[in-house]
Structure 1
Amino acid sequence: MGFMDFFKKKNSGNVAKDRLKLLLISDRADCSPDVMENIKNDIIQVISKYMEIDAEGLDIQITQTESDGNNGAVPALFANIPIKDLKHSGK
């Protein structure tokens, strides 16, 4: 995936779907959609250093899960990131 892939034009249906996903996720996490978009972009940037990924298929969710201790339910971030190929280092 190249840097310019982030600027590909999406149709309005996909844009609306992405915005709705971010709104639902941010509502669960009690943080703004801007913060969730920044998290998504940061994850894409870091993982793209090591792998070629399908950014369009990236799915990030924040859900509630039971903690190992007696803390009750805590937020958990789950990311489904389709990997196209691994980048091999020249080491």
Structure 2
Amino acid sequence: MFEFLSKLFGGFEGSKSRAKERLRLVLVHDRASLSPGLVEALKEELIQVITKYLEIDEEGLEVNFDKGDDSVALIANIPVKSVKRSAR
């Protein structure tokens, strides 16, 4: 019975995590004065480049910006599963 309910209502967790990610991107935009579209494009391009060399956990990937007085720092937390042996 529990499995059935988990499957039936399990989609909420995915929606919840997507909403959380969107909110996080909006907060990043506010902190770094970057458009959400630019932040998302940057994240996708980082994933493309990094996955040439490493197998990563994309679900656990976090990209943040830390805004100082006169600069902005990109902070990426990328869970690495393994190193690819035959990188292009």
Question: Which TM-score tier does this pair reach, normalised by the shorter chain?
Answer: 0.7 to 0.9
Letter in 2 for 1:38: A
Find the aligned partners of 1:29 and 1:12 in 2 and give their Cα distance: 26
Instruction: Indicate the residue corresponding to 1:31 in structure 2.
Output: 34
CA distance in 2, matches of 1:83, 1:56: 11
Rg bigger for which structure? Answer: 2
- Quote the offset at 1:28 in angstroms: 1.0
* Stretches of structure 1 lacking an aligned partner (at least 5 in a row): 1-8, 66-71
Q: Is 1:76–2:73 an aligned residue pair?
A: yes
- Structure 2 stretches of 5 or more lacking a match? 1-10
> Secondary structure of 1:37's match?
helix
Match in the other structure for 2:44: 41
TM-score (norm. length: structure 2): 0.79
1:2-42 deviation line (CA, Å, top 9, x unaligned)? xxxxxxx8721011011011111111110111110000000
Confirm or deny that 1:89 pairs with 2:81: no
Give 1 or 2: higher helix fraction: 2
Aligned counterparts of 1:89 and 1:44: Cα–Cα separation in 2: 17
What SS is found at the alignment partner of 2:34? coil
- Equivalent residue number for residue 62 of structure 1: 65
Secondary structure in structure 1 of the residue aligned to 2:52:
coil
Alignment TM-score, normalising by the size of structure 1? 0.76
Q: How many residues align?
A: 77
Task: For 2:67, give the aligned amino acid.
Answer: Q
Distance 1:57 1:84 in 2: 11
Q: Which whole-Å CA distance do the structure 2 matches of 1:35 and 1:64 have between them?
A: 16
State the identity %: 46
